[in-house]
Amino acid sequence: MPEHAELPPRNQEVEHEVEAWDELSADQQRIFARYQEAYAAMVDNLDDHVGKLIDYLKANDLYDNTLIVFMSDNGAAGEDFIQAGPYAEFIQEHYDNSYENMGKPMSWVSYGPQWAEAGSAPFSRYKGYTREGGITAPMIIAGRSVDRKGVKNDSYLTVMDLAPTFLELAEVQYPSDPGIRPMLGASMRDLLEGSTHAVHDERYATVLYHNGRAFIREGNWKLVNLDGPFDESRFELFDLANDPGETVNLAQREPERLAALLRLWTVKRRELGILLPENP
């Protein structure tokens, strides 16, 4: 993270308002602290089981021929299944989420938007949003074919790059039949072997539309909206290299960049079959 990076403002929408910790009562702080304690216990449990898997690979002479990829699937999850949503009534009826029972087998704890936003910091928002807090995920790769040990790399990758990597390392060809769509990602092999520092160049574009939220990213430039209903006029423009928290909308300052990305958005979304009723 650049030293000058700014934190985005707290989410203060009525539906998902994130209150400041100091504004919570002592009892609320106690309960929210227990939420995070349960989360930490789950991380510890996961770590223990990853260790057991690695021990198994080593004991069966499989470790040296295994590529290990450990990653999150999206930004922190902000759902509060206990209080809202289609399962809230069922959970409240069948599970005991009292303070004393949290973390035990018959509890169902979800830590909600407050911890999700804290966990996604210094990025903006969390799972379900197309802001960086909803789509940026950590990834650790180790094992066979990884010649760069203990190296941190912040180049841009997407989940679409995993399949091409696995296939190339396994020396398997992706089917080229006319009815099968081509893969959209690229192999990370050269990056893992240390012959390059990035998989994609500055012209590589990623497009996503999900539940009224969308983005297009080309290099470090990103067009993104915040909430639905979706409207292309509500796209904001951010320079992620200098503003990873998406705090300064540059749409007015960079009209040419905005127009170019809007044109690219239209082309790419149509290629992917993202059709909008008002502008197919």
Q: What is the CATH number of the domain that holds 275?
A: 3.30.1120.10
- Cα–Cα distances in angstroms (integers) from residue 154 to residues 45, 79, 183, 240, 274, in the given order: 28, 28, 23, 12, 29
Q: Is residue 46 assigned to a domain?
A: yes
Q: Is residue 111 assigned to a domain?
A: yes
- Hunting for tokens 């072997």 — which residue is that? 193
Q: Which residues contact 160 (CB under 8 A, 6 or more apart)?
A: 183, 184, 185
* Coil, helix or strand at residue 48: helix
Q: Which of 154, 189, 213 is the last residue of a domain?
A: 154
Q: Which of 114, 133, 154 is the last residue of a domain?
A: 154
Q: Is residue 162 assigned to a domain?
A: no
Is 253 found in the same domain as 144? no
pLDDT value, residue 3:
76
Tell me the sheet residues that pair with 196: none
pLDDT value, residue 178:
87
* Coil, helix or strand at residue 19: coil
Is 208 found in the same domain as 126? no
Distance CA 209, CA 100 (A): 41
**What tokens does 226 get?**
């915040």
Contact 141, 69 (CB under 8 A): yes
- For the chain, give the number of residues: 280
Specify the pTM: 0.89
Its domain, for residue 261, covers 202-280
Is 209 found in the same domain as 143? no
Q: Can you give the pLDDT of all 280 residues of the chain as single tens digits? A: 777 778 888 876 656 678 889 999 999 999 999 999 999 999 999 999 999 999 999 999 999 999 999 998 888 998 888 888 899 999 999 999 999 999 999 999 888 889 999 989 899 999 999 999 999 999 999 999 898 888 899 899 999 999 999 999 999 999 988 889 889 899 999 999 989 999 999 999 999 998 899 999 999 999 999 987 889 999 999 999 999 999 999 999 999 999 999 999 999 999 999 888 777 7
DSSP state of 74: S
DSSP 201-267: -TT-EEEEEETTEEEEEETTEEEE--SSS--GGG-EEEETTT-TT--S--TTT-HHHHHHHHHHHHH
DSSP state of 50: H
